[in-house]
Amino acid sequence: MARVDVHSAKGSFRTPIVLASGPAGFGCDLARALDFRRIGALTTKTITHEPREGNPQPRIVDAPCGALNSIGLENPGVARFRSEVMPKIRALPTARIVSIAGRSADEVGKVAGALEGEPGVDWLELNLSCPNVRGETVADRPDAVSEYVRAVRAASSRPLLAKLSAGGGLVALADAALRAGADGLTLVNAVRGLRIDVETGKALLARATGGLCGPAILPIALAAVYEARRAFPEAFLVGTGGVVTARDAVEMLCAGANLVGVGFGVMADPAAVFGLAEGLERWLDARGVADVAEVVGAAHRGGWRVP
């Protein structure tokens, strides 16, 4: 069997398949029936300092080959996350990436600080790119990205991922995050989108715009990962966006991702997501590739197969 374990300077993962922040919640519902040993890491729903209710209903609607969501970071706040959620997920046989966000560098620093003593928080992911809250999409200004990352870095010793959006300016933002102390990047968050209820002429989502996820954005996420890998040959990258099959995951790895995040797929077919690592193993075996590392970034060196 091909090896699918992934090793970075800051930590190891049993498989390259990561549950992206959001659709899997805190993993508790899935853990009742699915085997987390097949998942490299669970990324939690994003946690803020205070509890949040998120946006009004409806907050998830259709899109061609995907969906649009505007959940708006509903979460119990970091205190209840520690007291109620961490005890449930600490024992899961996978790594835990805790996603955090805030309205200011100060707030994200506080959230990171509150998690510092917490056992079982293996990585932090700083969500700099949620399309569904006002005043927090800081990821389009490199100076703000630096400031937020530095605040988390100062408050936390955990390995840190900075989560960015696709789009113009990605390399400058990624550079800002890495220089400020991020250990890796998660690319991409959901892409800003809108749908209209034609029968009324109003936006379908209560909050008008939302984030587009699912297969529709696979090519966009691949381009973002490809661009980031080209600019940062050594960076640790989590490629997220539109992956639902093992073949999609291979594309993401070849574009340059070390780990592959899955969000929409968890809503569409959760068992299939837990089968991705096995699908990947079989795919590699069928082609005589001994280690998944051989395909990572292959598109930047003329392919993995030298004919």
Partner 1 sequence: MKDLSQQGTQTAHGGPSFLVREGEIVETRQGGGYARLRVVLAPPFAAPMPMPEPGQFFMVRLPWGPALPRALSPIAAGDGWIELFIKADGLLRGEMAAAPPGTRLALRGPYGTPFVRKANLERRYVLVGGGAGVAPILHFAAARPDLVASLALGFRTPGVRALLPGADVAVEEEDGTTAFGRLAETWQDGLGVIACGPLPLLAAVSRDARWSPAAYVSLEARLGCGFGACLGCTIPTPSGRKRVCVDGPLFACQEVPWLG
Cα 125 to Cα 60, 96, 252: the distances in Å are 23, 10, 19
CA–CA separation, 80 and 130 (whole Å): 22
Closer of 82 and 195 to ligand FAD (Cβ): 195
Determine if 138 is a binding residue for its own copies (CB under 8 A): no
Smallest distance from partner 1 to CB 275, Å? 4
CA–CA separation, 102 and 10 (whole Å): 24
Smallest distance from ligand FAD to CB 208, Å? 14
Instruction: Kindly state the number of chain residues that form the binding site for partner 1, as judged by CB under 8 A.
Output: 43
Among 196, 269, 285, 291, binds its own copies (CB under 8 A): 196
**Residues in 86-145 that interact with partner 1 by CB under 8 A:** none
Instruction: Find the helix or strand (DSSP H, E) in which 153 lies.
Output: helix 142-155
Q: Which residue is nearest to ligand FMN (CB)?
A: 22
Q: Mask 191-220, x = binds ligand FAD (CB under 6 A)?
A: ----x-xxx----x----------------
Smallest distance from ligand FMN to CB 165, Å? 9
Smallest distance from ligand FAD to CB 185, Å? 24
List the single partner that 199 binds among ligand FAD, ligand FMN, partner 1, none, CB under 5 to 8 Å by kind: ligand FAD
Among 119, 135, 168, 233, binds its own copies (CB under 8 A): 168
Determine if 291 is a binding residue for partner 1 (CB under 8 A): no
Sign of the four-CA dihedral 102, 120, 275, 306: positive
**Residues in 75-134 that interact with its own copies by CB under 8 A:** none
DSSP string for 25-94: TTSHHHHTTS-GGG-SEEEPPPB-SS-B--PPSP-EEEETTEEEE-----B-HHHHIIIIIHHHHTTSSS
**Cis amide linkage into residue 188, ω under 30° from 0:** yes
Q: Mask 193-232, x = binds ligand FMN (CB under 6 A)?
A: --------------------xx--x---------------
Among 60, 171, 172, 203, binds partner 1 (CB under 8 A): 60
CA–CA separation, 162 and 124 (whole Å): 9
**Cis amide linkage into residue 87, ω under 30° from 0:** no
∠ CA 284-23-133, rounded to 5°: 125
User: Which residues are known to be catalytic?
Assistant: 130
**Residues in 264-303 that interact with ligand FMN by CB under 6 A:** 264-265
Per the structure block, which two tokens stand in for 123? Answer: 């990585």
- Report how far Cα 30 is from the mean position of its chain's Cα atoms: 17
Neighbours of 68 (CB within 10 A): 28
Q: Mask 268-287, x = binds partner 1 (CB under 8 A)?
A: xxxxx-xx--x---------
Nearest partner of 100 among 69, 130, 67, judged by Cα: 130
Closer of 30 and 95 to partner 1 (Cβ): 30
Given the rule CB under 6 A, which residues bind ligand FAD? 195, 197-199, 204
Given the rule CB under 8 A, which residues bind partner 1? 22-30, 32-35, 45, 53-54, 57-67, 69, 71, 74, 214-215, 264, 266-272, 274-275, 278
